[in-house]
Structure 1
Amino acid sequence: MFYYSLLKKRNTSFGLSEKNGRITYETTHNNVSFFTNEALYPIIVDFDYYQHFYKVKTNDIVVDAGANCGHLSMLFSKLVGPNGKVFAIEPDKFNIQKIKNNIDLNNDLPENILIEDILFWNKNGEIDFYEAGTVGSSAIWIPDAQHCVKKQSVTIDDWVESHKLERLDFIKMDIEGAEIEALEGCKKI
């Protein structure tokens, strides 16, 4: 903890806490704090990186595609507030459970995170997906058939229409090499 505190970014702090009988990690960045089951030291740079050109703000509608463990979803949740929405798009069932576990650690989160077990693609249907419970889960790279499952794919345009969204203010997309395919399905919005 001492080492990471020495090398931390400005406006960032880390701490340890006990929640539900387990040691958890507390991260504060730009006055936004939350608890996670994973240490965020190596990924704290992502908090600003993804918001380089657009800063998420109150009442925004945000998509966190490739939500992984939900760290950015929780940050966005606090930034958009109770009248905003955060759609955590994550096709890996193991990561979805991690998102839920992290959300459960934070009693002060607005109830505005909606987790969806789908993946964005250039067409609607089912595609092969490597479900490994890591950041390496992918529809592009499938190293073995043992962890390959069929997953529902949807274009962003059709997804927006099915949710009757009039706008999307911010899309964060880190979907392990499938960004081009997802953007091909995002022509209207």
Structure 2
Amino acid sequence: MLRSGITQLFRSLNANLLYPLPWLVEKFLKVMLVISERSYRSWMKQPHEAEQIVVRNIDKDIIMKVDTSKAMGAAFYWMGFHELNEWRFLNRFLKSDMVFIDIGANQGEFSLFAAKRLTQGRVLAFEPVDFFYDLLQENIGYNHFKNIETFHYGLSNEVKQLPIYMGQTGAGEHEGLATIFQSDQRARFIQNIELKILDEQLPALALQRIDFMKIDVEGAEMLVLKGALKTIERFKPLIMLEINEATYQAAGYTVPDVIQFFSDLGYTLYIMTKSGTLKPVSSTPAFCNAVFVPKGK
């Protein structure tokens, strides 16, 4: 009971950091953030049995079922988020009538965050792994969102089925690392997944706009981009992409390949600051969440 009360307090306080605050209040809350982060890291150093918990105050009022023995689930349980800078940026950027595409939706944290803000817009969430798709659906149901459409397949540059892999199961497992590119670190077969091409699905989706795309597919980013080229050229959305040199190499391409793809389309690379703003960079980090912005936006 004591742990439950402490984590609930941490989540409640940390949620305020997503919003504009007086300077002194923000300073105090950042101290509490550090304490909650240290508590989370201490928790992750110890083995824990799988524990499914429904938490009700992520981003103040978003409800999610999480597994506190897993890396992302424990982050939401202890801190109320997994990627604070990204959420701070999205809270500033998203407007109520926008369309948000979540490619690699996992358990749905970005889809839920966007849906809360897009009261007159749409969220399209793509997740091919059965377990995560079911959890995504469950989390949408908890929040009664009617503006999220889910698709039980992944996106690529070819229509096909492929096996997907994760690391060894157990305490501390990171549930966001499923990949179609098998390696020594990710060798555990999960299932075969279905892949489709976004450009080919576009007519059925009946979209008049796309404002933001989030792509986190553990090495398959370039395949997704190639299969969405016409869509990107047509709508010119901002695109948040995980830059990960290691997963790109496992997939057979490089970070410069991705940069060149966007450069050819007139996009500029930015990274997100702690305050939720965008900052241009002169050199690309080996690992980060980057935002690619088209010229004129």
TM-score, structure 2 length as denominator? 0.51
Q: Does residue 116 of structure 1 match 2:128?
A: no
Range that drifts further, 161-170 or 56-65: 161-170
CA distance in 1, matches of 2:212, 2:142: 25
Q: Does residue 78 of structure 1 match 2:106?
A: no
Instruction: Give the ranges of 4+ consecutive aligned residues of structure 1 lying more than 6 Å apart after TM superposition.
Output: none
The alpha carbon displacement at 1:44 in A equals 4.3
* SS of the residue 1:165 aligns to: coil
CA distance in 2, matches of 1:27, 1:155: 36
Cα contact 1:131–1:148 (8 A) shared by 2? no
Instruction: Report 1:8-157 matches (<5 A).
Output: 8=14, 10-11=16-17, 24-29=54-59, 33-38=61-66, 39=73, 40=76, 41=79, 43-45=82-84, 46-48=86-88, 51=90, 55-81=93-119, 83-107=120-144, 109=145, 111-130=146-165, 134-141=175-182, 143-144=186-187, 146-149=189-192, 151-157=193-199
Structure 2 alignment gaps of length 5 or more: 1-5, 19-28, 34-51, 67-72, 170-174, 232-297
Structure 1 alignment gaps of length 5 or more: 15-21
* SS of the residue 1:162 aligns to: helix
Higher relative contact order (CA 8 A, sep 6+): 1
Over the matched positions of the two proteins, sequence identity in percent amounts to 21
Q: Does residue 177 of structure 1 match 2:219?
A: yes
The residue aligned with 2:295 is none
Which residue, out of 155, 161, 164, partners 2:206? 164
The alpha carbon displacement at 1:118 in A equals 1.0
CA distance in 1, matches of 2:190, 2:203: 31
Cα contact 1:92–1:131 (8 A) shared by 2? no
Cα contact 1:93–1:131 (8 A) shared by 2? no
CA distance in 1, matches of 2:13, 2:219: 30
Mark the CA change 1:93 to 1:131 in structure 2 (over 3 Å): closer, same or farther: farther
- Matched residues, number: 174
Larger radius of gyration: 2
CA distance in 1, matches of 2:53, 2:166: 27
CA distance in 1, matches of 2:165, 2:220: 12
Q: Which has the higher helix share?
A: 2
The alpha carbon displacement at 1:69 in A equals 0.7
CA distance in 2, matches of 1:79, 1:155: 27
The alpha carbon displacement at 1:74 in A equals 1.0
